[in-house]
Amino acid sequence: MTKILLTITLLLHIAVDGFAQKENPLIRQGNKQYEEGKFKEAEIDYRKALERTPGSVKGSFNLGNSLYRQENYEEATRNFADAARLIDDKNEAGKAAVLHNLGNTLLKNGKLKESIEAYKQALRYNPADEDTRYNLAYAMNQLQQQQQQQQQNKDDKSDKDDKSDEKDQKDSQPQDQDQQQKEQPRDKPQISKQDAERMLEALKNDEQKTLEKVNQRKVKSSAVQIEKDW
Q: Say which range, 68-82, 158-172, 212-226, has the weakest mean pLDDT.
A: 212-226
Instruction: Tell me the C-alpha distance between 58 and 69, whole Å.
Output: 17
Domain ranges in the chain are 8-138
Q: What is the pLDDT of residue 205?
A: 65
User: Could you report the per-residue pLDDT of 97-148, keeping only the tens digit for each?
Assistant: 999 999 999 999 999 999 999 999 999 999 999 999 999 999 999 999 999 9
Q: 139 — alpha (psi -120 to 50), left (phi > 0) or beta?
A: alpha
User: pLDDT averaged over the chain?
Assistant: 75
Higher pLDDT, 22 or 85: 85
Name the pTM for this structure: 0.63
Cα(191)–Cα(217) distance, rounded to whole angstroms? Answer: 38
Indicate the pLDDT class of residue 224, thresholds 50, 70 and 90. low
∠ at Cα 74 (69, 78), nearest 5°?
Answer: 95
Judged against a pLDDT cut of 50, whether residue 188 lies above it is answered with no
What is the CATH number that goes with domain 8-138? 1.25.40.10
Asked whether 70 and 43 are in contact (CB, 8 A), the reply is yes
For 225, counting Cβ atoms within 10 Å of its Cβ (0-12 exposed, 13-18 middle, 19+ buried), the class is: middle
> Looking at the predicted structure, is the pLDDT value of residue 66 above 90?
yes
**Rounded to the nearest 5°, which phi and psi values hold at 5?**
-65, 140
Whole-number pLDDT of residue 181: 41
**9 CB neighbour count, 10 Å cutoff:** 16
- Residue 215 in this model has a pLDDT that exceeds 70: no
pLDDT, tens digit, 9 for 90 and up, residues 70-93: 999 999 999 999 999 999 999 999
Positive or negative CA dihedral for 114, 115, 119, 125?
A: positive
Q: Which pLDDT belongs to residue 13?
A: 31
Bridge partners for 5 per DSSP: 229
Least confident of 26-30, 50-54, 107-111, 206-210: 206-210
For CA atoms 212, 216, 217, 223, give the dihedral sign.
positive
